[in-house]
Chains A and B, each alone.
Chain A
Amino acid sequence: MRPFKYDRAKKSNDATKMVASNKNAKFLAGGTNIVDLMKENVERPDALVDVNNLELKQIKSMGSNISIGALAKNKDTANHPLIKQNFPLLTQAILSGASAQIRNMATNGGNLNQRTRCVYFYDTATPCNKREPGTGCGAAEGLNRMHAIFGYSDKCVATHPSDMCIALAALDAVVHVEDEKGNKRKILFGAYHRLPGDTPEKDNNLKHGELITSIEIPKNKFANNSYYLKVRDRASYAFALVSVATGLEIKNGIIRKSRIAMGGVAHKPWRAMIAEKELIGKKPSQKLFERAAKMEMERAKPLEHNKYKVTLGERAIVRALKMASA
């Protein structure tokens, strides 16, 4: 690990100022991703600003919406009564990720900004445009079993590794951020993470020095009909090959509103909007789910080693919809 200066910030504004004034500085939250990447020499900040003492840990109702603090732990978020009762989908998604120890340490803000698990990104001996722009992409023609089937570019075929973010995408969350001048802005979840395009080094639309302060989730009627399905190489403690977060609003036996977001298939949480639309105004049925899933997955463009994700994705959508509507 390279040497770095360590500072503890007492106020949000101190933290954003410290990071904004040094282009090689980074925020440190739970550390479960950045410390690991620093040990691998993938992240090389020369200063870390510890934000754990900031008052950004509350989970509370805000009018008809619920706000979760950027520094609330993943564990506390998943177990909060407001979340369990209103958004069990989020609870499930968080709990499907990592391990108990890691969820006790990981924060919500850090979870949004965790970086890809692409093995070439981690291995500094191989080319990677995300790690070293312009060096090429090791995965495009390499071992890409874990990689994207939607929305990738010739520069990068990585996937976003988070489970929590897949649920947040299905829940139409809004990310609240603040810069060093105290300017605040809100970013719709769908516009927070990026597709790789020509700048895969950028995972999201946060500016350097901008701090996530909270994540707002609008109230919805999905609580009784939602499900997070995660498919992975082993039963627990592994990243998703494919995951599906789904929420349905069913009234008098008819689907009124639907959300389907997928993990493990793209550089950002992937909204399956074609499938979502196909469900509206119809009665839940195996046939309908199969048709909707097929329509969505037909557009996938698998790489050499991940063709299985197309079939898997189709079946995962069907299974998640069945679980949610049961």
Chain B
Amino acid sequence: MKELNEGFESYDLVMHEDEMFLCEELTEDEEKLLDELGIHGASRRKFLGQVGAAGFGMLAMQVLAQQDTLAAEGLVDLTKSEPVSIENAVNVNMRINGVRKSLKVDSRMTLLDALRERLGLTGSKKGCDHGQCGACTVHVDGERHLSCLTLAATCEDKDIKTIEGIGDEKNLHPMQAAFVKYDAFQCGYCTPGQICSAVALLDEAKKGEVSYETENISAKTRPVQLSDDEIRERMSGNLCRCGAYPNILKAIKEVHTGKAVAQTWNFSERLDDIAENYEQEDANDETV
């Protein structure tokens, strides 16, 4: 323990709950945050003991900074209540991830903004806001649509499913699990859109819908077995700036065929050595 804290004397406080307040005064902002969190007196002491004063300082800074940015952008509380006056207000009732929602929106509001800023569903992302990237893809009545080009006002009686409704941490959709398995992302910004799009794609293929890559489009409708090029073409509406395309393709292919996709690259011997060394180091660390 001593070794771990070397050079970080102030962090030592983490371990000595009782002495904490002697050494580290809380700033005004930090006091404010604790008040906001409703943590007073003895529970305040306990809470600080658990997170550690230094750790709490960082947390307070982050939370307060974030609140400032949100306030500066006028975003605070939008998810909690309706804006007071709305020009050209339209009432819309829609089902979002199975739950009925009634909203009063400005006629200009897109579905994407309604989801993110009024309903707090920030899974759907705003990439370009002009229909060119697919980051905002959601399902409307079971079909993939771009929420950035959809006016919320037009969603009366629509059934909308966002990434939040596709699956959750305890219950991943097979497509989500496959994206994790194949490392089908880097920054993750395009991922919710990619997954919503990919889930719809499988459904379209099952219904026998054709694409520009389909060889015989006049054939009678039946489930289409997708080649790699078919998947690429059908996913072309979802851009990924990190270029995770090869792994996205593998993830979709696995869910589509039900078969694991073989890894087409290998660590070189040299890299294998490095990996082994890392494992060795990890093992050493654990024994300290």
A: residues with CB less than 8 A from B are 1, 3-6, 8, 28, 31-32, 35-36, 38-39, 48, 50, 52, 75, 78-79, 81, 84-85, 88, 91-92, 95-96, 98-102, 104-105, 223, 235-237
Contact = CB atoms under 8 A, between A and B. Distances in A.
Given A4-B88, A32-B146, 17 more contacts: A3-B108, A6-B88, A31-B154, A35-B149, A36-B130, A39-B130, A48-B151, A52-B154, A88-B218, A95-B214, A95-B217, A101-B134, A101-B137, A102-B146, A104-B145, A235-B232, A237-B236
A84 B134 contact: no
Question: Chain B contact residues (Cβ within 8 angstroms of A): what range?
Answer: 35 or more
Given A3-B87, A5-B107, A36-B131, A105 B217 contact: no
Contacts of B175: none
Given A31-B154, A104-B143, A236-B232, A99 B237 contact: yes
A5 B154 contact: no
Contacts of B204: 100
Contacts of A101: 134, 137, 144-146, 197, 237
A111 to B, nearest CB: 14
Contacts of B247: none
Interface string B56-86: 0000000000000000000000000000000
A31 B150 contact: yes
B191 interface: no
B210 A6 contact: no
Nearest to A29: B154
Given A79-B209, A99-B134, A236-B233, A85 B149 contact: no
A4 B107 contact: yes
A103 to B, nearest CB: 9
A14 to B, nearest CB: 16
B136 to A, nearest CB: 9
Contact of A92 (B106, B156, B217, B233): B217
Contacts of A48: 107, 151
Contacts of B134: 99, 101
B110 interface: yes
B217 A91 contact: yes
Interface in B194-212: 197, 200-201, 204, 208-212
**Most chain B beta-carbon neighbours within 10 Å: one of A81, A98, A100:** A100
Contacts of A99: 134, 236-238
A78 B156 contact: no
Interface string B93-126: 0000000000000111010000000000000000
A5 B212 contact: no
Contacts of B250: none
A306 to B, nearest CB: 23
A223 B217 CA distance: 11
B154 to A, nearest CB: 6
Nearest to A32: B149
Contact of A28 (B106, B131, B154, B220): B154
Contacts of A5: 88, 107
B108 A96 contact: no
A91 B221 CA distance: 14
Contacts of A1: 108
Given A28-B154, A100-B197, A95 B145 contact: no
Interface string B142-185: 01111001110110100000000000000000000000000000
17 contacts: A3-B106, A6-B90, A6-B151, A28-B154, A35-B110, A35-B149, A75-B143, A84-B217, A91-B217, A95-B212, A96-B212, A99-B238, A100-B204, A100-B236, A100-B237, A102-B237, A236-B212
B129 interface: yes
